[in-house]
Amino acid sequence: MYAYALVMRIMIVDDKVRMASLLRRAMEREGYLTVVAHDGETALKLAYEHHLDAIVLDVMLPGLDGFSVLQRLRESAVDTPTIFLTARDTNGDIVHGLDLGADDYLTKPFDLKVLLARLRALTRRKAPIHPGLLHVGNLVLRSDLHSIECSGEMIALTRTEFALMETLMQNAGRIVSKEILVEAGWGLGGEMNEHNLYVFIASLRSKIQLSGEAVSLQTVRGVGYLLRSGVA
C-alpha cells in the first residue's frame, strides 16, 4: 500500500547493538524512519546531516557521552526534541540532562510502550519539519528536493524520473500502464515511445537498489509496471 504521510525520522543513539536494534524494529513498526548511531561522534555527524524529528539518546557512550552530544547540539542551535534513555538514574543525572535541553528523561530498565507513548507525545508537540512525503517500504519521495531517499541516502532524480516515480508510488501495489506513465513523464498526448520509457524505468531501478528487498519495480509484460513493497 501507499500513503501520503508526514514521515517522522528518529535517531537512536545507543552503544549496545542489540538494544539499538530492538528500538529500531519497534519504531519502524510504528511507522517511523530511523537512523542509528553507536557512539557520540557518529550521533553528532548524523544529527547535522539529517532532518530529524526526534532523538532517543543514551548517556553512556564511547568517546563523547550523551550529555556532551546534547550540549553540542543545543550550542549549535539544533533544537531536535530529545529523550534520554539511559541507566543513569540519579536525580542529579536527570536534572542535568533536562537542564542541558532534553525534552524527556527515561531510565533503564524501561517499558517499550511507555517509550513509544512519550515519543508520540514529543513529536506531536513539535510541528514536523518535513513537507508531505510519499512513502513506500523504505523508499521516500521528497517533492521539495525532487529526489528519493532510500535507506537514508538522498538520490537526485531528473524531472522525468521524478514524475514517473511519483506516479508509481501513488499507485504502489497496482499495475500502472505504459500509457499512464508516458502521460506522467511527457505530458498529455505525449508520443508513446516504449524504448524511452524502458530507459527511464531501468534508471529508476538502479537508483532504488539501496532498498534491497524492501521495494521492487517489476515489469508486467505487455501492460506496464508495478512498484511494490517487498519482492514477489
Instruction: Give the CATH number, domain containing residue 106.
Output: 3.40.50.2300
Domain end among 74, 101, 125: 125
Q: Quick one: pLDDT at residue 110?
A: 94
**Domain identity same for 118 and 151:** no
What's residue 4's pLDDT?
Answer: 34
Tell me, yes or no, whether 149 and 64 share the same domain. Answer: no
Indicate if 7 and 112 belong to the same structural domain.
yes
- Domain span at residue 164 reads 136-229
Q: Does this model's pTM top 0.75? A: no
Domain count within the chain = 2
CATH number at residue 183: 1.10.10.10
* Residue that is written with C-alpha cell 536494534 in the block: 21
β partners of residue 216: 228
pLDDT tens readout for residues 126-158:
644 444 578 888 888 887 777 888 877 888 888
Provide the 3-class DSSP secondary structure of residue 16.
coil
pLDDT tens-digit readout, 162-173? 889 988 988 888
pLDDT of residue 5: 37
**Residues 92 and 166 both lie in one domain:** no
Burial class (CB in 10 A: 0-12, 13-18, 19+), 133: buried
As a whole number, the mean pLDDT across the chain is 85
Asked if 150 and 224 sit in the same domain, the reply is yes
User: Mean pLDDT over residues 117-122, rounded?
Assistant: 89
Question: Is 131 contained in some domain?
Answer: no
Residue 55 has pLDDT above 90, yes or no: yes
d(CA 124, CA 14): 24
